[in-house]
Amino acid sequence: MKRSGKFYRRNEQEVMKLLGFDPTPNSGSGWIVKEDGQNDLAICQLKSTDSNSIRINLQDLHTLEYNSIVAHKVPVFAIQFLKTNEVFIVISPERLCEASESILTGKRINVPENDLNALQDLPEASERKMIKSSDSARHDIRAEIHSKYKKERRSAK
């Protein structure tokens, strides 16, 4: 039986609290607060699956890294297997010492200056293509739509 969205929202909140994060409303889809959970030291993204394997997209990791640099926090990627209820943490090797010191001491570690420069090297989370249009093109499209849905009128004979 397929799980509902309500289940995944509740599960995400429970796992974030279990890991010591404050759950983010709407799973970080707002403008200000990003990712699935945050605390004073780290920012976390959670992926859950009913399967025995999971696929991690590089784009998800780059987005997490970007949001962590903007928020000056350690990025943490959590994976949950729902069948066994096991949770695993994925952290890049460069951030492992920073994450472990932050967890052990409870203090934020200063982010090296070269990490802030890495912000420019990350690919954009969403690259929008600009579509240029003209007044005549807009009129042509409207005319095409109008002719497509135009009702045929019959005379009363």
pLDDT of 4-59, one tens digit each?
878 888 888 898 888 888 888 877 777 777 888 888 888 899 999 989 999 999 99
The better pLDDT of the pair 50, 150 is held by: 50
Domain that holds residue 109: 5-128
Instruction: Give the CATH number of the domain where residue 73 resides.
Output: 3.40.1350
Q: Is 79 helix (H, G, I), strand (E, B) or coil?
A: strand
Asked whether residue 27 is domain-assigned, the answer is yes
27: left (phi over 0), alpha (psi -120 to 50) or beta: left
Asked whether residue 142 is domain-assigned, the answer is no
The strand pairing partners of 86, in sequence order, are: 81
Asked whether residue 54 is domain-assigned, the answer is yes
Contacts from 87-91 at CB under 8 Å and sequence distance 24+? 87/15, 87/18, 87/19, 89/19, 90/56
Asked whether residue 76 is domain-assigned, the answer is yes
Q: What is the chain's mean pLDDT, rounded? A: 78
What would the two tokens of residue 133 be? Answer: 């249009």
Write down the pTM of the prediction. Answer: 0.62
Angle at 49 between CA 11 and CA 122, to 5 degrees: 95
Q: How confident is the model at residue 99 (pLDDT cuts 50, 70, 90)?
A: confident
Asked whether residue 82 is domain-assigned, the answer is yes
Asked whether residue 79 is domain-assigned, the answer is yes
- Least Cα distance to 34 among 72, 78, 79, 68 occurs for 68
How many structural domains compose the chain? Answer: 1
Asked whether residue 151 is domain-assigned, the answer is no
Q: Report pLDDT for 133.
A: 67
